[in-house]
Structure 1
Amino acid sequence: MTNSQTRQINLYERICVRAPYFALQNLQHTAPGEATAAVPIELPPTRETSPISLAEKGRHLAILGLCAAASVAPNDQRRYYLARTASIRCTYPRTVLPSERLTAHAKGAFVSPREAAATTTLAAEDGAQIAKADFTYTVVGEPVFARAFAYAHRLDVVPTSRGFNPYSRELPLTDIGGTAQDIRASLTPTVADCAGHFEAYPTLPVAVLGGCMVNLASHVVDTMTGEPNTRWVPHRVDVDAQRLVAAGKTVYLSGRSVAVRDGVHEVEVQASSDGAQVAHLTVWAEPVNKHGV
């Protein structure tokens, strides 16, 4: 086994996300605090004019970022890297084809013993950058995580069946209704919906919740444009996550239009569960007309 292979195995063992949520391919620890990987596209096309959605960008880039940070952890102990904030900017120098092989690079570091940060980029097959994302994480060891998230512990979690991947579909919203200034929906993730995040503590991944929040934002854009199923160009999304939601708990979403500037809609979505705020998201979306411009 080569040194490179050894680093890859040790890197994976330092983190707590597992397949199928972890889906990076050819993960490489290229230097202290740096990592690269191939990024698969698992979700089918959404209303975004990109073959890879904001949610999937966030999922894969956040994982690569925490891997980069884990490479400079003080030892090989497993730690939970809990995404706290995310900011994704889409650059799109050209049209990206669904068949293209996407690659990502991350630089990560520990800001303090319990906080890490990472800057990541996503590139098309020819190396052109299509997105850049920054993340911060709360870092906790296994004993601390077990105490803090005892509410999410489940004894009935079974290994994921080979071939089953809940992240190849959007988590559906229910009870959608309202106006552009107050549109609401809810979702209730199952244990299966949280596969790989985390072992014995199934909790809704922030990236998946973010995808649901972006989905609700799409409904706000529909209401503003007066056109159902409006397609739009994603410019940016910012996410602030306050707490993890355990499988089986219902999450309530509320979205509203904040502003429209130069054709770009700014939409804000709040998520809450058990009476407490879970996350806040703002997305900037530019609708395209029926001619695709």
Structure 2
Amino acid sequence: MNDLIMVEEPYNILENVNFSPNETVTAKVQNEYSLELEAGSMGCSEFGRHIAILGSMAVAKSFGHKDKHYYLAIHADLKRKSNSTNHSKFFHLKAKTLIAKKRTARIYGEIRDDENELLFAGTVEYQAISQPVFSKLYSKHKVDNPKYKLVSPYINRKQLTNIDIKDECIVGTYSKVEPCDCEGHFKDFPALPVAIIGGLFGELCMPLFKYHNPHLTKILSKEVIINAYRLAFTGEHVTFEGKIDRRLPNDSVKLIAYAKVGDEIIADAHFELQAVYSPELVEMATL
């Protein structure tokens, strides 16, 4: 089934993919990347990356397409189910198709550690586009013989620059999207994966949260809702904006973030983040 979806290594690093008769697909994966401030044994955006890929495999099987398709993730609602920070060599994924009709689909997915503890669960929605239609729609973004680096861009990632915090707002720049930023997504039409944009949202919003809570040591992503309105292709310049939307009890906050190409919003995210303090700070606060 992998040869019917359009994502490849190094973006797709799923192992031991197995299809069950009940519209369910399982796999295992190693964690490649963690945000500096995010607590937990895997980051929320990395869960989004892997479950979106596995979910596209489940959707491809449910649709029964005989030719290659692009399964574009257009919406995801990801929830943290555990605050565990246990190290796990492999994480175990499961995705099940909930709906697959016409050109849209939705899956449920979850990830567990080696101790079978549920870490994240969520849903992802897709738009299915055949290869010929996709090629016609995005012909101007086709890149012939794109140049790639030897190191995976999903391990050594390009960071945001020009980060500026003003009160409860923050901005940052990703600059121009290069083919080497998108390797494996997609071969002839390199586009920045939505899950990577989700990670950049976290890279933007977590420092803003820490700016207003300077004594926190780590941050838990309790829930992330991402909407993707279109792809960001090679040559386009992407900027990010974020702001605090609402403060919650228990040292938590809701934030909203936007990714833009020019003035056009290409994706947005709604975060619920919770502060984690070191035991030493908690002890001092109770004295």
Is this a same-fold pair by TM over 0.5?
yes
The aligned amino acid for 2:204 is L
Matches within 5 A, 1:152-231: 152-158=141-147, 160=148, 164-188=151-175, 189-227=177-215, 230-231=217-218
SS of the residue aligned with 1:234? strand
Structure 2 equivalent of residue 28 of structure 1: 18
Q: Deviations over 1:158-186 (max 9, x none)?
A: 4x56x621101343001100224221011
> What's 1:86 paired with?
76
TM-score under structure 1 length normalisation? 0.90
Tell me by how many angstroms 1:32 deviates: 4.6
Residues of 1 paired with 2:225 and 2:163: CA distance? 23
Report sequence identity in percent. Answer: 24
In 2, the alpha carbon distance for the partners of 1:104 and 1:235 equals: 19
- Equivalent residues in 2 for 1:131-142 (5 A)? 131-142=120-131
| Count of residue pairs brought into register by the alignment | 279
- For normalisation by structure 2, the TM-score amounts to 0.91
Q: Which residue among 272, 275, 278 is the counterpart of 1:287?
A: 275
Over aligned residues, Cα RMSD in angstroms?
A: 1.8
Moved more, 120-129 or 130-139: 120-129
Q: Which runs of 5+ in 2 are unaligned?
A: 283-287
Contact 1:180 1:256 in 2 (8 A): no
Residues 234 and 285, structure 1, Cα contact 8 Å, conserved in 2: yes
Structure 2 contact 41–84 (Cα < 8 Å) conserved = no
Contact 2:110–2:118 (CA under 8 A) maintained in structure 1: yes
Residue 57 of structure 1: which of 43, 47, 54 is its match?
47
Distance 2:221 2:99 in 1: 30
Letter in 1 for 2:58: A
1:121 to 107, 110, 114: 110
Q: Does 1:151 align with 2:140?
A: yes
2:229 touches 2:267 (CA, 8 Å); kept in 1? yes
- Give the direction of change, closer, same or farther, for the CA distance of 1:148–1:187 in structure 2 (3 Å limit): same
- Of 237-246 and 257-266, more deviation after overlay is shown by 257-266
2:220 equivalent in structure 1? 233
Structure-1 separation of matches of 2:143 and 2:70: 17
